[in-house]
Amino acid sequence: MPLFGRTKGRRPRVLSAAGVRLDLANRESVRAMATSRTAQGWQADAWGYRDMIGELRFAGQFKARAVSRVRFFPAQVVPNEDEPLPFDADEGVTVSAELQRAAEEELARLPLDAGYRFLGVLDENLTVAGECWLHGYEDEAGEEQWEVLSVSEVILGQDGMITIRRHGEGVGRTLDPEGAEEMLRLWMPHPRWGNLADSPMRALADVCEDIVLNGREMRAVSRSRIATNGIFKIPRGLALLLATKGDTIGADDDGFMAELAAALTAPIHDEGHPSAIAPAGIVGDLEDLAGFEHIRIDRESSEEIIGKVEQGLARLARGLDIPPEIVTGMGDANHWSAWQIDSSTYRYHIDPSVRNVADSLTEAFLRPALIARGFALADVRQVMVWRDAGVLTENPNRGQDAKDAFDRGSIGFKALNQALGFTDTDMPDDDELIRMIAVKTGVDTNTSAMLLRAALGTVVPELPAPAPATRVIESTRTDDTGPGHTPPDDGTPATEPPGMTAAALSLVETLLADAEPQWDVHGDLSRSLMDIDRALMDRLLVAAEEALERGLERAGARVRSKAAKDATVRASLDNVDVTRMAASVGPEGMFKLGLKESDVLAGVFDRLAANWDAWVNAGIANGVRVVLRILGIRAGTDSAAAITDRLTNTMRARMPRAWDTMRDELMAVAERVLYAPDEPHTGHGETSRFRIPPGIIRRALGHVGGVHPQSSGQTPVLPSGVATGDTIADTLADHGAQALGFEWVYGVADRNTFEPHLDLDGERFDSWTDDRLSTPAAYAWIGAHFRPGDHDGCQCSYMPVWATPAPGTDLSERPGWRGKFRALRDRWLRRTRG
């Protein structure tokens, strides 16, 4: 049969990414791949730009963190359809049970539930370099392990051998072709050369270079004394007359230039120096004085260079597969929307990357693994890896949209439950459904009695026969019709509205009093509150780190300026990076140069103070909007204004003190790092590549938002933030909202993974003294229980999930509502995310 005839009438799904399993024993294939890698030199530049441009790194992490929260599972390919069919679908699955089980077992070998450290790292490699490797091996305990390696860590030799080299290692380790290891290459095929990798960074190399060069130019302008103050042109025949001395320094005196420099710089070091207000005089012949000149060297101003940097970031934002606001920041839009993954952001920016990951795993891992187990190629091609975004997307209106669609009969109970965050086990049983009908519908006496009898058994008494049916009186007289005509009264009412007997009505009223109030669980909006604090944490942490780096540069420049007068010290600083000059001379050298740590680091965090005010105020405003939406209070009303004023005024009043405390802690870190710029922050638990401990930022935000209400009497207190502290929590509770509990969200560690916290990712509990949070002996330094933020390097968060009674429900009239709410909370706690 011809090739095209075999596929006629069927449109196979085209995979968007590529993957291949390398045969380590086939040196020819490895050698051929090594030859093609010579055209991939851009990948090293892409990683370099990712590490140099903070906005680019953040954009990649934003998308990678989103992808890491997606659930991947095997599914059946459906001809002529874009999406496959999950194995647990009600109908249509034709893949054999044996193949289903094998696919699930094979995919379970990968650590897909490890979050960022596997799926996130994989996605960021595909985003930056367009390529990565999956390395499978057995650890010392004989357990199978899989890890993601970048192209920089895998070396393909011309001899057909593969070497894995970690950062800091020498020659690395060459894989044994006969060993029990696997190497899988995953890549985004270039549209021209399918065996080469492609990514947005390949086309953005020039843009990134412009951003880096303009940034360096800006730093050079701020640090160069020639650029800022120019050059003096001084004839040899001049002499300096100091205002603070009565003598004149002769023109032949070698100290003329030193005295001139001292007169100009004295006010910088001592604001009370007389030369700050008294002039310095220069004497000489008229011709020599005419030759004295101050030459200014014009360079682009900082504003012009900043404009170029912003233009470069705008081009970078348009070229990346993410919303531009993620890179450019607030701009003309609401900055905080950049931190929310709504349906549009997911559909056009996140989902393509998710599908790339799914396709790569299908091609390189799942299908080869199934073929190795003996399944036929034709059957294996019917299986692929697919994804479920779950609670990743934030559609604030999805719950209400689902309710409206359900009321119109467009969707069923199952779809409604999924949209509201419930599972099939939460659906009402027959008895509950009968109660709902009896409570919510207006039915006649017989129907009500039947439903109540079915729900309550023999409790409902037999009801008397219903009232006579409505009798319609017809008249044959044409003049008896028309407006205002009244039928004759023969003792029987023309119409008899249906009604209930007193006994039935009493039972219905009892049932209404005991009925469980309807609750709206605000999972999406609750996650919005948590994301506000995570956004503030990330932005402030990055900004503080950048401020620290600039402070070290300024401190080094001051050390270099002071050392210029001492030939020995000046020589020792040759070829020393400016950020390490203070460390090079050490505390004793600083003392000899007349420098203090507080002086050289003065103002290092001044710019961060402005960012603190802007970002925290924006976080407060966004938190207030979410609170109003949870409570169902329309903006612009008196109630909304009262809540807004209370929350805003309370938290803004705490901001100055919180900043002062955070600044003092940051200065302490800066003084420590001044003499050890390469020494990362150390301690128990996670250690970040940042020198600023995340705990400093977390504590400051917690001070603004208020200590968490469950922190009373605990040491350390629970972490909180602007949107998850007691100020907002108390406001929600005061207006009838109830907290179902908390969900642990693992934070990305830049250097190492804290396994006890990772194991808690997605767990739900209603108390921070839950047994699952108890610390074993090895972690006694934390305390009795684990908590997000229980050590300075921790970047974990928690999501307090809020529920509100349906609009119009008065809990004071439902004395049994607490028991019903506990049942709802228990159902929620049984559901573990993902």
Of 544, 662, 619, 632, which Cα lies nearest the Cα of 808?
Answer: 632
Of 734, 539, 708, which Cα lies nearest the Cα of 618?
Answer: 539
Q: What is the pLDDT of residue 281?
A: 66
Q: How far is CA 619 from the centre of its chain?
A: 15
Q: Which residues contact 67 (CB under 8 A, 6 or more apart)?
A: 119, 120, 122, 123, 350, 353, 354, 357
253 pLDDT above the threshold of 60:
no
Q: What is the pLDDT of residue 626?
A: 92
Q: What is the pLDDT of residue 443?
A: 47
Report residue 241's pLDDT band, with 50, 70 and 90 as the boundaries. Answer: low
Q: What is the pLDDT of residue 555?
A: 84
Does residue 278 contact residue 263 with C-beta atoms inside 8 Å?
A: no
194 pLDDT above the threshold of 80:
yes
Q: pLDDT tens digit string along 488-508?
A: 444 444 433 344 444 444 444
Q: pLDDT tens digit string along 60-97?
A: 888 888 888 888 999 999 887 878 999 988 788 899 99
Highest averaged pLDDT of the listed ranges 247-256, 369-378, 510-519: 369-378
Report residue 709's pLDDT band, with 50, 70 and 90 as the boundaries. Answer: very low
pTM of this prediction?
0.44
Q: What is the pLDDT of residue 103?
A: 94
Report residue 280's pLDDT band, with 50, 70 and 90 as the boundaries. Answer: low
Does residue 168 contact residue 162 with C-beta atoms inside 8 Å?
A: no
Q: Which residue has the higher pLDDT, 222 or 352?
A: 352
* 610-614 long-range Cβ contacts below 8 angstroms, 24+ apart: 611/539, 611/540, 611/543, 612/540, 612/655, 612/659, 612/662, 613/655, 613/659
* Average pLDDT for 673-684: 70
Q: What is the pLDDT of residue 740?
A: 84
Q: What is the pLDDT of residue 62?
A: 83
Q: Which residue has the higher pLDDT, 476 or 162?
A: 162
For residue 98, which amino acid is it? Answer: E
Highest averaged pLDDT of the listed ranges 179-183, 365-369, 565-569: 365-369
431 pLDDT above the threshold of 70:
no
Q: Compute the mean pLDDT over every residue in the chain, rounded to the nearest whole number.
A: 75
Q: What is the pLDDT of residue 124?
A: 92
382 pLDDT above the threshold of 90:
yes
Counting residues of the chain whose pLDDT is more than 90, the rounded percentage is 15
Q: How far is CA 485 from the centre of its chain?
A: 72
Report residue 373's pLDDT band, with 50, 70 and 90 as the boundaries. Answer: very high
Q: What is the pLDDT of residue 263?
A: 65
* Average pLDDT for 567-594: 79
Query: Distance between CA 529 and CA 743 in Å, rounded?
Result: 13
Report residue 469's pLDDT band, with 50, 70 and 90 as the boundaries. Answer: very low
567 pLDDT above the threshold of 80:
no
205 pLDDT above the threshold of 80:
yes
